[in-house]
Structure 1
Amino acid sequence: MILKGFKEKSNKKYIDKCAQSRVILPNADKLQRVGVLVNSHEFSDPEWIKSLTSLLKIKANDLKILALFNGKKHETSVYTDTFSEKELGWKGQFKSQTVKDFVANKFDLLINFYETDSLALQTISAATQAPLKVGLHNANPDINDLTLDITIKDKNIFKTELIKYLNILNKLSNE
């Protein structure tokens, strides 16, 4: 019990360190690679997420989805790349190669599409290198650059608002 508290505190320090050391440089680059973090128990529609590729004007293989899945052994997830909270180690380190590969990607946009206050999801979001991070209404403001005041059930409104703000920021290609 005590070790769990210390582990949690070390990960919160890691998140704060990542948020404070993050340098955001203005650029005119268009979106090419997008990462999406979801909690599979809150949102289980990977096809809706994949439909973002046409709206964001990116290739389907340039969209990476990583889902938090804390299911039982007999349960399966609708997402191909998953991890569990048990895989979170000390100081922001993960035991899963899937998470390490996701964090190693250089995304142009990271979408934090979850509402839960999950330390594992926040740690991955903080560790992922992306010049623009978008989250939902109760997301950690230190991690996200843009927070949309929308619940996860309003997925079509989220899509509309995301496209609107990306057009304002001139991040979508004209193709």
Structure 2
Amino acid sequence: MILKGFKEKSNKKYLNKLLNERQGRVDDSKIESLGIIFNYDEAENFEQFRILADKLNVRPDRLKIIAFSQREIELQSTWDVCYNFKDFGWKGSVNNSELQAFIKTEFDALVSFYSKDVLELKLMTALSKAKFKIGVLQNDERLNDLIIKTKMNEFDVFKNELFKYLTILNKI
């Protein structure tokens, strides 16, 4: 139990280091690849993300969706990867090869669809090599380049606002 607390503290320290070093860079390159991180405990409907990608004209082979759950459950392979807190080690290390591949992929955009303050979700967002990061309102505004303030159950509002802002930013 004590080791779990030390591990969490080490991961928080690493996350703060990543976020302090992060420099936002926004260009007008079009979104052709999309990564999505969502909290399965908050939004179980993964199909809405495929519809979002379709609306943004992202081809299915350029879309990667991962889910996080604090519960240990066996999920169908309806999206690419499901992970939990056990996939993380000390100092922000990722012990899952599929998650490491996701982190190293340079997506044109990353959508972080979660509102709960979960360290592992924030680590995945911060570690991602995505060029442009989008999220719903969160406690730490350093995580994303574009924040769309919506409730988790208002996905259509999120989708419409995202489309509007990406059009303004000349991303689609």
Q: 1:168 to 1:65 in 2, by over 3 A?
A: same
Q: Which amino acid aligns with 1:42?
A: E
> What is the deviation of 1:69?
2.6
Q: Number of paired residues?
A: 171
State yes or no: 1:18 paired with 2:18: yes
For the aligned residue pairs, the C-alpha RMSD in angstroms reads: 1.6
Q: 1:26 to 1:37 in 2, by over 3 A?
A: closer
State yes or no: 1:44 paired with 2:17: no
Contact 1:139 1:147 in 2 (8 A): no
Alignment match, 2:27: 27
For 1:113 and 1:72, how far apart are their aligned partners in 2? 20
Q: Which amino acid aligns with 1:59?
A: R
Q: Which amino acid aligns with 1:156?
A: D
Q: Which amino acid aligns with 2:22?
A: R
State yes or no: 1:167 paired with 2:149: no
For 1:93 and 1:131, how far apart are their aligned partners in 2? 21
TM alignment of 1:1-175, pairs within 5 A: 1-73=1-73, 75-77=74-76, 78-172=78-172
User: In percent, how many aligned pairs have the same letter?
Assistant: 35
Using the TM superposition, name which of 63-72 and 35-44 deviates more: 63-72
For 2:23 and 2:143, how far apart are their aligned partners in 1? 12
Report the TM-score, using the length of structure 2 for normalisation. 0.92
For 1:25 and 1:45, how far apart are their aligned partners in 2? 31
> What is the deviation of 1:2?
2.5
For 2:58 and 2:2, how far apart are their aligned partners in 1? 46
Contact 2:72 2:84 in 1 (8 A): no
> What is the deviation of 1:28?
2.1
For 1:55 and 1:41, how far apart are their aligned partners in 2? 25
In structure 1, the gaps of 5 or more residues are: none
> What is the deviation of 1:72?
4.1
Contact 2:26 2:132 in 1 (8 A): no
SS of residue paired to 1:66: strand
SS of residue paired to 1:51: helix
For 2:114 and 2:139, how far apart are their aligned partners in 1? 8
For 1:142 and 1:27, how far apart are their aligned partners in 2? 18
